[in-house]
Amino acid sequence: MSSSDLKFISRPTSTLKGTVRVAGDKSISHRSIMLGSLAEGTTKVSGFLEGEDALSTLAAFRAMGVEITDPVNGQLEIKGVGLNGLKQPDAPLDMGNSGTSMRLLTGLLSGQKFDSSLIGDESLSKRPMSRVAAPLSLMGGQINTASEGRPPLQIKGGKYLVGIEYPMPMASAQVKSCILLAGLYAEGETAVIEPAPTRDHTERMLRAFGYEVKTEDARISLRSGGKLIACELDIPADISSATFFMVAACIAEDADLLLEHVGVNPTRDGVITILKLMGADLVLENERMVGGEPVADIRVRSSKLKGIQIPEDQVPLAIDEFPALFIAAACAEGTTVLTGAEELRVKESDRIQVMADGLKVLGIKHKVNPDGIEIQGGQMNGGQIDSHGDHRIAMSFSVAGIRAKKPIEILDCKNVATSFPNFVELANVVGMSIETSND
């Protein structure tokens, strides 16, 4: 079912039980391909997310001459070509729906000797890329964008890059990572100063490949001249994907779910903090380190959630999880208030407005603000929701079906395959009731 009219129909249910390992972490899967390709030697990866976004990254590096085996049950091998071994692709590199691929590759490609261009699907072609083009130009790179700083991107090769110290105007792991990857090719030291902590998968993985990265408070820096050495990577389950099951277990009447091998990186665990503040019965078990990343099993049981003022310091640590958290807020007693989340407006969709539109259909009272939303908990009705092709919106309203009075029909769900190809299958295994339809 790949056509754009794929829809989900989610029906009310009460009991969720079982043990689940959700799809591999998307952010780490992207970076495993990028750094494995630039390493010396063969990198072995397990837990790789075989979703369309990560496969776009894989296809791009194959197009630049890197030998990568087809993923089988999340396992693959990458024959690295070294930092300077990439070859000019024959055609524009298609990033599909993946903003991570486009922004990180822009940094990496700005340091190559060859010209390249990056394109994407309709949704990605609307997303802002000046935020990476601007700092790269300060380093000596040349990135030409379409109107209003949007894709497609033309990247000139053979440019002499110099390291910069860049105070980031807003917290963004993609912008930070883009600059650090360009820094691998820049003269001297490249440093980024973050206004708030963001996910640090790039720094952790560079270190896993033997490359020195310094983190001093909000300043992250590296110097060129090093090399990446192949290693083995076991990618944790994606906390963003696990979030749908965490919220589902919180709002179901009779739930006891164990989510296995979930990445609980401290730059990504805002959703756990926020759910606990709302009163979630959520416990981390078997905490351990795997390939430089902290991992745990997460047990979640039915909970009486209450509305809260979401702490602004948690917003960057949970930025991708807010669509699902909005559903938790809709099922909570009282009002949940989110502020400081302007970044949500420039994701795959304007996630504040699209979620608000869906909550309105379901009869949930709310007030939209420029940087967030206020959601008053209540009884959800059924209805038809337009996901606007945004995978996280589609999955969030699928979870809402658990507590709705009547079925929820969600339109334009094909992009769920970008991050969580077996979402519906796993959801139904633990007791949700979601059917797919292509009519």
262 token code pair: 């979930």
pLDDT in tens, 309-350: 999 999 989 999 999 999 999 999 999 999 999 989 878 889
Closest by CA to 38, choosing from 213, 234, 208, is 208
140 token code pair: 């000596």
**What is the DSSP-derived secondary structure letter of residue 381?**
-
SS3 track for 277-289? HCCCEEEEEEEEE
pLDDT in tens, 99-148: 999 999 999 999 999 999 999 999 899 998 999 999 999 999 999 999 99
The pLDDT of residue 419 is 84
Would you give the distance in Å from CA 434 to the centre of its chain?
A: 23
Specify the pairing of strand 219-223 against strand 232-234: unpaired
Please tell me if the domain spanning 7-24+237-437 has the same topology as the one spanning 26-234: yes
Q: Which CATH architecture has domain 7-24+237-437?
A: Alpha-beta prism (3.65)
Instruction: Give the C-alpha separation, 173 to 401, whole Å.
Output: 32
Please list the active-site residues: 320
Which CATH number describes the domain made up of 26-234? 3.65.10.10
Report domain extents, the chain. 7-24+237-437, 26-234
pLDDT in tens, 399-418: 999 999 999 999 999 999 88
